[in-house]
Structure 1
């Protein structure tokens, strides 16, 4: 029983540690991926812990870019600073190693979004967006005629948003 309580506390502190190290809001899917790829906690327990951390105001949802993202609160940072020594060195090292390799791709996922919905007359509305430091750089909505076109646009935007953004800006600036 005592070991279960220690493990629960360590896992919740580990989650707070990850959020504190990331330093920007992430989706539930992204935190789930980090946890599962490192085999820290199983999926169902993770979701329970996230809900408990939200209820305790150690984490909160933000909706700055139209997407629900999780971020650590000041209260969460204070608790983590008091009890960070309760997280095993192995887990801290694993998190730091993982984030040093994956942080830029996680950040790219947060700042570059592409999705689509079905519009009127069986058309698809594609929304392509790039955000940097909570400022929207570009937010384009396009109406396309097929599901395939919508998926292709989303895929191209996610994989090549920087070049596409620069080309759009150049076209608009240089056009007479």
Structure 2
């Protein structure tokens, strides 16, 4: 039922390794997805470890563009470099392969934002945002009459933000 202390240490180091390998702040959800999709740790144990890593100041949350994102602290990086050899090479290889495959979608999730809220007169306010290197490229708020339109706009924005951005800019410039 309980893990050995070496397994516990390896799992926490693995979490730190993921944060270092991605080289960008990521959301709790994204880190959870990486760990769970690779069947390293169960959800509840993962959240407990993450909380312990935060208490130890090995990771911390930063507010970036209205999102709480996790970063590896200098203290966490130092611990990782001292004990990295305790992570099994097969797990490190699995993480490296996963990140290579998914890095673009992870970055896209962090740079593209879309949501909607209920506005006045039963309308919906759609908020679309594109961020690159911590700089706001575009933020667009619009009112639409139905929830279907709001969800459709959000989905299209997430699906192809660069084309939509380019079209909007060219419409405004030309």
Q: Establish whether TM, by shorter chain, passes 0.5.
A: yes
Distance in 2 between residues matched to 1:168 and 1:116, nearest whole Å: 20
Aligned residue runs from structure 1 range 1-176, under 5 A: 4-174=4-174
When the two structures are aligned, how many residues end up with a matched partner? 174
In the TM superposition, what is the alpha-carbon distance from 1:28 to its structure 2 partner? 1.2
Distance in 2 between residues matched to 1:25 and 1:90, nearest whole Å: 24
In the TM superposition, what is the alpha-carbon distance from 1:123 to its structure 2 partner? 1.4
In the TM superposition, what is the alpha-carbon distance from 1:117 to its structure 2 partner? 1.2
1:36-67 deviations in whole A, cap 9, x for unaligned? 11000000001111111111111111112111
TM-score by length of 2: 0.96
1:57-109 deviations in whole A, cap 9, x for unaligned? 11111112111111111111111111101100010000001111111111111
Unaligned runs of 5+ in 1: none
In the TM superposition, what is the alpha-carbon distance from 1:2 to its structure 2 partner? 10
CA gap of 1:85–1:151, structure 2 versus 1, over 3 A, is: same
Distance in 2 between residues matched to 1:167 and 1:99, nearest whole Å: 31
In the TM superposition, what is the alpha-carbon distance from 1:30 to its structure 2 partner? 0.8
SS at match of 1:68: strand
SS at match of 1:102: helix
SS at match of 1:166: helix
Distance in 2 between residues matched to 1:126 and 1:53, nearest whole Å: 36
Q: Pick which of 116-125 and 18-27 moved more.
A: 116-125
Distance in 2 between residues matched to 1:35 and 1:45, nearest whole Å: 11
After TM superposition, the runs of 4+ consecutive aligned structure 1 residues lying more than 2 A away are: none
What CA RMSD, in Å, does the superposition of the two structures yield over aligned residues?
A: 1.4
Unaligned runs of 5+ in 2: none
Distance in 2 between residues matched to 1:3 and 1:155, nearest whole Å: 41
